[in-house]
Structure 1
Amino acid sequence: MDNALVLKQMQKFWNNDMPFNQLLGLHITKFSPDKSEVRFSWQEQLVGNPMQKILHGGVTATALDLVGGVVAAANIIAQLEDLSPNSIEQSLRKLSTIDLRTDFLLPGRGEEFIATAVIIRSGSKVAVARMELHNEKNDHIAFGTGTYMVG
């Protein structure tokens, strides 16, 4: 099995089998070690400030954390020599968020939100990702830095 097929299968698995992400409407649209992407649409249930009708900060942080975890997972998979299901499962078993920083730049307004992430450092135990959240007009709503346990 090649790396691209494994990443596609992981994307499908994470989109279909993570109930919290489904509840929020988060959908992984790019599962890649170079740059990963998560998208979600505006929903009234995601309001954090009913007076201003803006996105809840927790939703913003969750989207950033998810896309950071996705790019970290894709990097783990890209480094594997054995792409068997057992090897992939064992390699991703320790993946978890160690630290997440979210900086809010603009109120979360829009019809669609796009979170992207790139790895800025990847070691044998820890990976650090840089994440951004934009709306469909490319307004930069938030950015974050996530540190992930990878080994």
Structure 2
Amino acid sequence: MDQALILQQMQKFWNNDMPFNQLLGLNITKFDHQESEVRFVWQDKLVGNPMQKILHGGVTATALDLVGGVVAAANIIAQLTDHSSQSIALSLRKLSTIDLRTDFLLPGRGDEFIATAKIIRSGSKVAVARMELHNEQNDHIAFGTGTYMVG
């Protein structure tokens, strides 16, 4: 199966079959091994400080973790020689977050939020991603580093 088609299918699966991501409105808009992207729009249920109407820090961390996991998954798939469903499922079964660091730079204000991630290091057991969260005005709200079990 073509790698681009596989990544499209994974994107569809992660967007439609992960209830927590749906609850928060997180939408994977780019599932790629070089850079992945997750977007979501402001909803009142995402507020962390009702007085200031800013994004909850847990939502910020979750979006960063998701986009880091997406780029790590895409990186795993890019390194496979066998693109069968069974091989992909076997390769992704250990994917999990080992460590997540989130640095908050600005209050989470905006109408839309865009999280992006790139791989810093990818080994046979562990991958490290660098993630950023911006709003639609390109204000840099937060960044993070995620370490993911990949094998």
TM-score category of the 2 structures, normalised to the smaller one: over 0.9
SS of 2:32's partner is coil
Structure 2: state its 5+ residue gaps. none
**1:48-89 CA-partner distances (Å, limit 9, x unpaired):** 000100000000000000000000000000000000000000
Quote the Cα distance in structure 2 between the aligned partners of 1:94 and 1:107: 34
The 4+ residue runs of structure 1 with deviation greater than 4 A are: none
Q: CA deviation at 1:111?
A: 0.1
**Residue type matched to 2:129 in 1?**
A
Within 5 Å, give how 1:18-37 maps onto structure 2: 18-37=18-37
Aligned to 1:67: 67
**Aligned 1:1-151 pairs, distance under 5 A:** 1-151=1-151
Look up the SS of the partner of 2:7 in the other structure. Answer: helix
Superposition TM-score, scaled by structure 1 size: 1.00
Q: Secondary structure at the match of 1:64?
A: helix
Alignment RMSD, CA only? 0.2
Query: How far off is 1:126 after superposition?
Result: 0.1
TM-score (norm 2): 1.00
Tell me the number of residue pairs that the alignment of Structure 1 and Structure 2 aligns: 151
